[in-house]
Amino acid sequence: MTRYFIRFAYNGNNYHGWQIQPNATAVQEILNRAVSLLSREKISVVAAGRTDAGVHAKEMYGHIDFQNFIPDENFIFKLNSFLPKDISIYEIRKVRQDAHARFDATSRRYEYWISTRKDPFMQGKAWMFYKDMDLDKMNEAAKLLLGRHDFESFSKTHSDVNNFFCTVEEAEWVVRDHYFVFYIKANRFLRNMVRAIVGTLVDVGLGKMSLEELQMAIDAKDRGKTGTSVPGEALYLCEVNYPDSIYE
């Protein structure tokens, strides 16, 4: 058995998230089917994370174990020809047998796009939200997230995790033309965490929540104290990082 990492991307609009589930189409299901067809082996791709319904990935990694199949120089071209237009494979690379796409990732980076005016070219790709927001206040609030904290207040309830601690390296809002774009990078993310954070920071930008109230909400470790989760269609996984030691 030989393990490989693949680097790929997908538009999440037509999928109910990454992970296979009953009565819904998931990215994993489509990718498993294509790789299995090409390799003639039963393959289950293990990804770096599980994106929610509608969420996109500009960069995602997954690992694949082949029993006998050896990918050639045309593997990516062939695999892409089997996949729908909204999923694309960029790279395949051999890794150590114990390398793991999820557990060996050292950090992940997301971005969230808000359009402050109706934009026909970003329907399904950004959240159309037309209220005035205070960028400076939102960035002051974002600074409270930096470092290692318990993020239970931003986690989906009943999440099956050992702890809620995450180390956030970057959290910043940037204005690009008529877009408010939020960037966040951390060693790990909890279920629904980014969408809950964005909804809460938007409340700060609208004057519905003060910085002091945000800090109290974080300390409360209670999802009910923070803002509403924003739509998934505007969220993008855009970077996953690994140590060089995983590659052969």
Angle at 83 between CA 1 and CA 233, to 5 degrees: 110
Q: Do residues 150 and 235 share a domain?
A: yes
The CATH number that applies at residue 207 is 3.30.70.660
- Is position 245 within any domain? no
Rounded Cα distance between 69 and 212, Å, is: 57
- Is position 53 within any domain? yes
Domain count across the chain: 2
Which of 103, 135, 154 represents a domain boundary (last residue)?
103
- Residues of the chain scoring pLDDT < 50: none
Q: What is the pLDDT of residue 106?
A: 97
Q: What is the pLDDT of residue 96?
A: 96
Q: Do residues 217 and 147 share a domain?
A: yes
Q: Can you give the residue range of the structural domain that contains 15?
A: 2-103
Known catalytic membership, residue 52? yes
Q: Do residues 126 and 214 share a domain?
A: yes
User: Hey, which bits of the chain come out as E strands?
Assistant: 2-10, 46-47, 56-66, 87-94, 107-115, 127-128, 147-150, 165-176, 179-186, 235-241
Three-class secondary structure of residue 237 per DSSP: strand
Q: Give the list of residues 6+ apart from residue 4 with CB closer than 8 angstroms, or none.
A: 63, 64, 66, 71, 92, 93, 94, 95
Residue-wise pLDDT for 153-168, tens only, equals 999 876 678 899 999 9
Q: Do residues 168 and 83 share a domain?
A: no
Q: What is the pLDDT of residue 158?
A: 65
Q: Do residues 170 and 219 share a domain?
A: yes
Task: Name the pairing type of β-strands 107-115 and 235-241.
Answer: antiparallel
Q: Do residues 81 and 113 share a domain?
A: no
Q: Do residues 95 and 113 share a domain?
A: no
- Is position 38 within any domain? yes
159-165's contacts with Cβ under 8 Å and 24+ in sequence apart are 159/190, 159/191, 161/190, 164/190, 164/221
Question: First-to-last CA distance in the chain?
Answer: 14
Q: What is the pLDDT of residue 173?
A: 98
Q: What is the pLDDT of residue 67?
A: 95
Q: What is the pLDDT of residue 159?
A: 66
Q: What is the pLDDT of residue 108?
A: 97
Beta bridge mates, 9: 88
Residue-wise pLDDT for 54-101, tens only, equals 999 999 999 999 999 999 999 999 999 999 999 999 999 999 999 999
Q: What is the pLDDT of residue 248?
A: 76
Q: Give the list of residues 6+ apart from residue 100 with CB closer than 8 angstroms, or none.
A: 46, 63
The CATH number that applies at residue 68 is 3.30.70.580
Rounded Cα distance between 46 and 212, Å, is: 40
